[in-house]
Chains A and B, each alone.
Chain A
Amino acid sequence: DVKVTQSSRYLVKRTGEKVFLECVQDMDHENMFWYRQDPGLGLRLIYFSYDVKMKEKGDIPEGYSVSREKKERFSLILESASTNQTSMYLCASSPSAGANYGYTFGSGTRLTVV
């Protein structure tokens, strides 16, 4: 069964810490995405990557960066965590043909910044 695996289900971090959220997919997909999910706001795109070492900003990139050194792994980095980054973070992947193939999502990482 194809999978997108997020390394942590729950994380609690302190304000100002550097936080790494890891995502790994085993489907050989070219595209990978990071979304955050907040009640009443749905999913908002933070960053996406369409190839190794390639990335593009999504709708809300401020305060975040990403890294994609290998095709299967896409990391989201909070350079200095703040309380307004408390949220559910969802990773997804899709084949290179585009969004019409649909995404495969991970189970999410619920991050709390205190």
Chain B
Amino acid sequence: GAVVSQHPSRVICKSGTSVKIECRSLDFQATTMFWYRQFPKKSLMLMATSNEGSKATYEQGVEKDKFLINHASLTLSTLTVTSAHPEDSSFYICSAQRPGTSGSYEQYFGPGTRLTVT
């Protein structure tokens, strides 16, 4: 199956600092990647769609200046949480899209990054 990695897996930062999370598709090229966040015992919430070579598309209510997304290559998208605050503490998950075998598209998810802001 397709492999998507995230780095770091876990990060603790001080309030006011910025944190960058990387998402890589290891064995396929992905023109589209997605970023989600998940709070404990809750479902995944889509934050933004990351398109290679163009600006990301953010979901309603997600601040684009706070969550900077860069999709500079077909295998790498980054999410930078700027001026992080404790309420930004969450589990961040990325996914990468690739064509399936029957005309559909499939999403493969990374292992997630646990961000804790102190």
Query: Are the chains A and B members of one assembly?
Result: no
